Amino acid sequence: MHITRKKTKQVQVGNVKIGGGAPVSVQSMCSTDTRDVAATVEQIRQLEAAGCELIRVAVPDTEAAAALPKIKAAMTVPLIADIHFDHRLALAAAKVVDCVRINPGNIGAWWKVEEVIKAVNDRGLPLRVGVNGGSLERFLLDKYGYHTAEALAESALNAVNALEDVGFTNMKVSLKASDVHMAIDAYYLFAQQSNYPLHIGITEAGTAMTGAVKSAVGLGWLLTQGIGDTLRVSLAADPVEEVKVGFEILKSLELRHRGINVIACPTCGRVEIDVIRMANELEKKLGHIKTPLNVSVLGCVVNGIGEGKEADIGIAGGEGKGILFKRGKLVRKVPMDELMDTLITEVELMAKEQEAEGAHEDPAAEAPDHKAHSQEPEKPSTLLREIPVLSSRS
Ligand code: SF4
């Protein structure tokens, strides 16, 4: 499958480019109380270590706004302030952060929005216009009867048009709903009518497993259609999990390449090693590696080595011993009790060799996109183009 990414306008949040063909960036949001600087900074460090490229914090009051300078000083990735209702918090945040997120529908009078625009313009910051199914304007609810994809798209387009009318174009847009169908339809409708870069996500997606599946389905569909410039997976879980799931979605579509991709067989009656434990342990122990590498854990040699041909390196169980192989070729037999340690050492070595040869992760700030190409929003060239988007619910 070839993904043709929609060519959107590019904005820059700190050193991360969003839209205009830049790699799809992965972001998350702190779950800590922003007023608790130590706890927030600790979580930011964990997110940065996991590869998170943009981090948002909630700014619900003046004390949270006052904590922003200390938080910003302790982090390396761009900081986004999330503001609802009180535009004065946005004015304070704009002096510190790299991007401000507001929902024009709940910020109050238009003059307040204009004050926020002036504040972000003074520092050349982009604005994220974030509309949400739960906070649509009254007139749209009256017009559509309920929050619908059309209402979400209209709300976002109205906001974009109003901002353009006062000369502001430095923005990215999100249209979030917790319903996967509605989110897909809303983003699709908006993308057909606007070229602003899109922050995509399924809001309140659920727990780690449920939310990951919903996000993979919703964001996966949008991304295969070329829609989406930055993403957040919203989980009722540690935000580090959001980053991991975000990268897995992008890696599975070959839109980004980062770190270890563990390929593990589902096991069957032929299994000779503890594949499930080993695969989980590998993901944990090799999470620090940023170089893209496919690592296989296969239960037996019957199909194992053949099935592992796509892997850079891997192990398979075989007659009381483990088999270490590289790119489908047997390297040596390893005693069972040394198998995991041997694999970890070999993977770390391979990562170092690849780094020395110039292979590395593809950071959103610099690297070119890999398999995806971007172009003007003609019809995406995938089989999915024939699916009638707005009639997808029966
Ligand atoms: S690799 Fe071996 S154990 Fe794993 S599923 Fe295939 S046949 Fe079964």
CATH code for the domain defined by 260-356:
3.30.413.10
Which pLDDT score, from 0 to 100, does residue 363 have?
67
Signed CA dihedral, 31, 52, 18, 180: sign only: negative
What is the C-alpha separation between 363 and 26, in angstroms, rounded? Answer: 10
Which pLDDT score, from 0 to 100, does residue 389 have?
44
Cβ of 306 closer than 6 Å to ligand 1, yes or no, is: no
Following CA atoms 93, 99, 105, 108 in sequence, which dihedral angle do they give, to the nearest 10 degrees?
20
* Mean pLDDT, range 186-214, rounded to an integer: 94
* Alpha carbon of 278 to ligand 1 centroid (Å): 14
**Contact at 8 Å (CB) between 104 and 92?**
no
**DSSP string for residues in 131-155:** EEGGG--HHHHHHHSS--HHHHHHH
What count of Cα atoms within 13 Å lies in the side-chain half-sphere of residue 319?
2
What is the C-alpha separation between 85 and 108, in angstroms, rounded? Answer: 7
For the segment 265-296, what is each residue's pLDDT rounded down to a tens digit? 999 999 999 999 999 999 999 988 999 999 99
**Confidence class of residue 309 from pLDDT cuts 50, 70 and 90?**
confident
Angle between helices 208-224 and 180-193 (to 10 degrees): 30
Consecutive H or E run containing 38:
helix 37-49
Highest mean pLDDT among 11-15, 335-339, 365-369: 11-15
Q: Which atom of ligand 1 is nearest to the CA of 272?
A: 3
> Which of 307, 305, 303, 311 has the alpha carbon at shortest distance from 332?
305
What is the C-alpha separation between 105 and 113, in angstroms, rounded? Answer: 10
Cβ of 95 closer than 6 Å to ligand 1, yes or no, is: no
Looking at the chain, which residues constitute the CATH 3.30.413.10 domain(s)? Answer: 260-356
Consecutive H or E run containing 325:
strand 321-326
The overall longest dimension of the chain from CA atoms, in Å, is 75
- pLDDT, greater one: 213 or 105: 213
Which positions ≥6 away from 238 have C-beta within 8 Å? 31
What is the C-alpha separation between 218 and 187, in angstroms, rounded? Answer: 10
Q: Which atom of ligand 1 is nearest to the CA of 268?
A: 8
Is pLDDT of 194 > 90?
A: yes
Q: Which atom of ligand 1 is nearest to the CA of 275?
A: 4
Its pTM stands at 0.87
For the segment 142-161, what is each residue's pLDDT rounded down to a tens digit? 999 888 999 999 999 999 99
**Confidence class of residue 244 from pLDDT cuts 50, 70 and 90?**
very high
Residues 130-149 as b or e (16 or more Cβ within 10 Å = b): bbbbeebbeebeeeeeebbb
What count of Cα atoms within 13 Å lies in the side-chain half-sphere of residue 55?
29
CA 221 to chain CA centroid, Å, is 14
Rounded mean pLDDT of the chain? 89
* Alpha carbon of 201 to ligand 1 centroid (Å): 35
- pLDDT, greater one: 224 or 359: 224
**Contact at 8 Å (CB) between 304 and 316?**
yes
- pLDDT, greater one: 106 or 389: 106
Looking at the chain, which residues constitute the CATH 3.20.20.20 domain(s)? Answer: 4-257
Helix (H, G, I), strand (E, B) or coil at 55: strand
What is the C-alpha separation between 246 and 250, in angstroms, rounded? Answer: 6
* Alpha carbon of 264 to ligand 1 centroid (Å): 9
Residue 378 in tokens = 């003609």
What is the fold of 4-257? Answer: TIM Barrel (3.20.20)
| Angle at alpha carbon of residue 176, lines to 173 and 179, rounded to 5° | 155
